[in-house]
Structure formats: C-alpha cells, structure tokens
Amino acid sequence: MQPTEQQQLPANNETLSNDLLLDMYRSMILVRHFDRRAVHLQRTGRLGTYAPLEGQEAAQVGCGYALQKHDWLFPTYREHGVSIVHGMPMETIFLYWNGRPEGCVPPEGVNIFPVSVPIATQVPHAVGAAWAAKLKGENQIAVGFLGDGATSEGDFHEAMNFAGVFKLPVIIFCQNNGYAISVPLSKQTAVETLVEKAAGYGVEGVRVDGNDIVAVYEAVSHAAEKARRGDGPTFIEAVTYRYGSHTTADEHSRYREAAEVEAWKAKDPIDRLKTVLIERGVWSDEQDAAEWERVDGLVQSAIDSMQATPPVPHDRLFEYSYAELPQELVEQRDEMRELYGKGGAK
C-alpha cells in the first residue's frame, strides 16, 4: 500500500492553539517511546507477544484529545496511544502485556474497556454502551476502535447496522494501516475505500489522513459533537501505516517491500507536527532532544513499576474459568500447590 493523496477533511493548522499542538506533540513522543521500549522488553523476554503501533501515533493521539474524560473507549490490542491519552497508566499497559490480569483494570473514572484480541468483537460492545447512554439520557459517547481487517468481520456489520438504525452516540474509528496481518487491503474488500461501507448502514462516513493529527482531531471532534447532539453515529477511516510488524510474532518484511515502508516514513506524523511547531517558532531541536529525554524517564519509571510487581501465583491458572473446579482440575491445582506452595510463585 503506497501512500497516496486522500480525500479528507481540510486540516488547517491555524485553527488549533500552539498550546494544544504542543501537548499533542509531547503525547506522540511519549507514545512512540513507550512503544519502542515495549518492543525491546518483548525481545528481551520481559513482555509477551506485543502489538506495535509506531507510525500510527497521530491517529490515536488526535482521537484521544478530541474526546471527553467520561467517554468510553473500546480498544483492540493496538490502542496503547489513545489509552495513555485517556488516562490509562503506562505501567498498567505494561502489566497487560506481561500477562497480568491487573493490566485489564483501569483506574477509577477511566472508562476504557479491556483489550480485545478477537477481531471486531469490541465494536458491538461500543455500540451497546452507546445505546445504554442514549437510554439513560447521558451526555456520553463510545468509541469502538478497529483495523481495516475488522471491516471484513460479521461483528462490524452488526454493529454498524445497529448503530445506524438506532442513531446511537458512537464513533467507529478505523485505523486503516493497509494490512490485516499480512493480507493487503485489496485482498479483503472490493471497494476502493473503507469509508464507502458506511453509506450501506445509513452512517456518516469520513476519511482522513491518519498521519495528520490536526485532521484526525477535527474529524473526531466533529463526530463527537454530532453524537452528543443526538444526530447519530460516524464511521471514521484514518488512513495510516504501521512501520513494524503486526505483532512481535510476525515478520513484515516477508510481505512488504522496504521501499513501501520508507515511502510512508516520509509522511511520519511526528516529523510533520514538529515541522509545524518549528515554523511557528514555538519549538526547537534543543527542546525536542530534552523532551525525548524527559519521556524516557517517564517510561522507565513505568517499566520499573511493572517489574516491581510481585510474580503471579502459579495457582491463578485455575481461577476465572469455573465457578466450581472439576475434580481433575482440583487435583492438578493441589499438585501444583505441593510443588510451589499455596499461591506461590518461584
């Protein structure tokens, strides 16, 4: 998937204040550094399989800044960026990828549903939350995140249809990075753009340059305001690109040419906003270097917190699946406790 000129909302950088752009820029740097450190932690055996997002920072951070604190997020496995912006602590996200159930629990008042690994199953959940908000008369919206591959799933159809029929306060936010793991967009849909699908459900569709944080912010802000007015859902297709593999269990060089990746890096979302800030005279290379150093300390602190968490007890394997354990599992649990002690972890 080569980058092309896209039909999109105009992104007039003069409409946003310097302070807001600087905040969003700092958040993108934080998210990228978090992501790179997470990949390193996985490669050194301190995290499990991880889904990188580098290249998609503008789509996620721009979306996050356009929402309100009480709105609900329904993420896939790649929404670390928007989750951080919405209030999920980095150490909690690290704990999730470290295999800890604590990683699924946001702080009080942070409305983020647990990560969804099955494809598109979180989108009906978002629609359900939006329906509940509408029935209760709450000024709250839900955002269901998905990738391009999820638009080929039945759950996507059901969610879009339901949202359209009942005019629900929901945003279906698709980060189209061109590949469903190794399957290119052209192999999973016959339409030229994913946003075309929205019309079939009576849902407004908007296509934006997902590497332009201002375009994303404006699109989500418009959709959120519309939803709060009671004017129904919006499907947003943010066209972006992941520089790395689908997950750390994947190898993207087997199905993508290096030239394609480099072409997209020329449209890097962080570099694009940095250029704007320098042109405005509110940022410099010296400030940039200092900011990368600052976020390194923040991310390292989150890593230290994750690593200081006590080991998971071995017998936790037997929790959460049954109200009452079958006898054969009771015997296995007891055998494990003989080896490690009750709740023990070695």
Catalytic residue among 46, 100, 157, 255: 255
Contact 32, 270 (CB under 8 A): yes
d(CA 110, CA 70): 7
Residues 6+ apart with CB under 8 A from 139: 228
Catalytic residue among 78, 125, 242, 272: 242
Q: In the annotation, is 242 catalytic?
A: yes
Contact 167, 232 (CB under 8 A): yes
What residues are paired with 239 via a beta bridge? 176, 209
Burial of 181 (0-12, 13-18, 19+ CB in 10 A): middle
Nearest to 63 by CA among 79, 82, 45, 76: 82
Residues 6+ apart with CB under 8 A from 213: 24, 28, 57, 58, 61, 62, 269, 272, 273
Q: In the annotation, is 333 catalytic?
A: no
Catalytic residue among 246, 252, 256, 314: 246
Nearest to 57 by CA among 216, 207, 208: 216
What residues are paired with 143 via a beta bridge? 73, 171
Q: In the annotation, is 255 catalytic?
A: yes
- Active-site residue numbers? 242, 246, 255
